[in-house]
Structure 1
Amino acid sequence: MPRTLWSQTLRDGRRPLIGWTVGTALAGAMYASFYPQVGGAMGDLTDSLPDGLKQAFNMEDLSSAAGYLGSTPFGVVIPLLVLFHGAATGARAIAGDEESGFLDLLLAHPMGRVRLVLHRYGALATGSAAIAAAVLLMMLAIRSPAELTTVSAAEFAAQCLGLALLGAFFGALAVCIGCFVGRRGLVFGVTAAVGVVSYALNAFGPQIRLGWTRALSPFHYYAGGEPLKHGFQWADAGVLALGCAVLVALGAWAFRRRDIGT
């Protein structure tokens, strides 16, 4: 991929990206660092909860480091932050430029629409990888002080790979929708709504006899194989990567064929 638009997109969005990266890593570290104080107590507390509720919120093994991390930091806080980063950045990638009129200026240069979509999405995916890398480095930094040594560095890396792909997936969804409609607010709202609904289906589907819907949720492929316990889940990673490719390809196809209104 030529570096011009990809690198320019990263430069233009460096401040928001730094904010998302630092904020997500610090939020994850804060919740992870609570494990020595609350891990065992939460495990005792949740013993009395219904099995369905514990399964929905992944609270079946809060006394272990992997179980605690999979329930709170990597189960709720970090993936939802990554979801909203992907939705916000993806909404700005095409739809934001179209609303501002900047898209006309870009397309006035010798740049095809497909190339534009690929470069914008490439920058988004790079940002998602940067956030996941920052989370990984932060977790490795606090691993010993926070008594998380039962989770190996490779298992942390496996979970953060899923995190990067989850952010890239929702970013691809936002880019795809933006290629169809070109309205930034609508793109963000729809992407965020899809993300929240898919999270809820993954968590509560089995409790309402809709367990089959988990297979439709990106969150299932992000953490369903429990990377913090079992390491890299290559099949799940492949599903998320394939989803990214399909969404970007669909968006590029639509973007080539519609009139641009600014």
Structure 2
Amino acid sequence: MTASPLPETLPATRLPRSVWSQALRDGRRALISWSVGTALVGAMYASFYPQIGGSMGDLTKSLPEGLKQAFNMEDLGSAAGYLGSTPFGVVIPLLALFHGASTGARAVAGDEESGYLDLLLAHPVGRVRLVLQRYAALATGSGAIAVAVLLMMLAIRGPADLGTVSVAEFTAQCLDLALLSAFFGALALCIGCFVGRRALVFGATAAVGVVTYALNSFGPQIGLGWTRHLSPFHYYLGGEPLKHGFQWADAGLTAAACVVLAGLGAWAFQRRDIGV
């Protein structure tokens, strides 16, 4: 018997037609964890409203006006005021910040550091397509987390005495939540396209998030009220969607910022020498 001849070339690892779908498939476990964890944490804090909502409303009457404005505590006695101050005002948006920062840092910079980016770009996929579809997957994940939070809030709406907040108002707030996470994801991805170092990207994005949160909360208290308009947190919560429903202008500005950052990142990555 004679051995079968070896092929002249080994078949290359096939890249899926959609970088977007592959990114979602690769990150599905992390996305499920983020979605379930964020929804459960939000539900835990929201469920405290029947026990502490009224008492907190009385307590905050004695607090300085500046402190109440900084932490959105003017109306803790109502369901919308309580939700806007605690779960949707602090805990959930900070989780959205860290989801966007970690996922955006991994989207390009993480693969570049690990060497996986070389394998991806060895296939017939352009750099711009890679960046934009990776960002589309990140934005899809941000939307999935927001949907999980929305479904959880609707599930506990009756038992937690949150019925004064309508379904549309919950939906409006969760839309802004998705855009907030997508914004920080776009920022992280953009920085990663310039520098290609995951830890640096995550740290820089988290630092921007903390600083802009402080600007939104404390800027007006020190005579710098105009700085609030530089913060994505202002466009996330400033229009009080839990009370007033959809804030299309704020949502549109955040979405436009996401598009600009993703586009800038794609432009930079297309022109940067990464040795491939």
What TM-score results when the alignment is normalised by the length of structure 2?
0.93
2:20 matches 1:9: no
What's 2:51 paired with?
37
Cα distance between partner residues in 2 of 1:50 and 1:261: 57
Q: Is 1:87 matched with 2:101?
A: yes
Shift of 1:261: 5.0
Counterpart position of 1:20: 34
Structure 1 residue aligned with 2:66, among 31, 41, 52?
52
The structure with the largest alpha-carbon Rg is 2
Corresponding residue for 2:162?
Answer: 148
1:5 Cα offset (Å): 1.1
In structure 1, stretches of 5+ residues that fail to align are: none
Match of residue 179 from structure 2: 165
Alignment of 1:83-122 (within 5 A): 83-122=97-136
- Number of residues of Structure 1 aligned to a counterpart in Structure 2: 261
SS of alignment partner, residue 208 of structure 2: helix
Q: What is the rounded CA distance, in whole Å, between the counterparts of 1:210 and 1:252 in structure 2?
A: 34
**CA offset at residue 114 of structure 1?**
0.3
- Report the counterpart of residue 224 of structure 1 in structure 2: 238
Distance 1:248 1:4 in 2: 18
3-state SS, counterpart of residue 109 of structure 1: coil
SS at match of 1:253: helix
For 1:47, what is the secondary structure of its paired residue?
Answer: helix
> Is residue 128–residue 168 contact of structure 1 (8 Å, CA) maintained in 2?
yes
Pairwise CA RMSD: 1.0
Q: Could you tell me which amino acid in structure 2 is paired with residue 72 of structure 1?
A: T
Alpha-carbon separation, structure 1, partners of 2:151 and 2:17 = 26
Looking at structure 1, the residues matched to 146 and 161 of structure 2 have their Cα atoms a distance apart, in angstroms, of 21
- 1-side partners of 2:151 and 2:179: how far apart? 17
Misfit runs of 4+, over 4 Å: none
Which string of whole-angstrom CA distances, capped at 9 and with x for unpartnered residues, describes residues 57-97 of structure 1? 00000000000000000000000001000000000000000
Equivalent residues of 1:155, 1:230 under 8 A apart? yes
* Offset from partner CA, 1:26-64 (integer Å, 9 cap, x none): 000000000000000111111100000000000000000
Change (3 A) 1:95 1:28: same
Q: Is the 8 A contact 1:98 1:261 kept in 2?
A: no
Letter in 2 for 1:46: T
Structure 2: tracts of 5 or more residues without a match: 1-15
Whole-angstrom CA distance in 2 between matches of 1:228 and 1:4: 37
More helix by share: 1
TM-score w.r.t. length of structure 1 = 0.98
Q: 2:272 — aligned with what?
A: 258
Percentage of identical aligned residues? 83
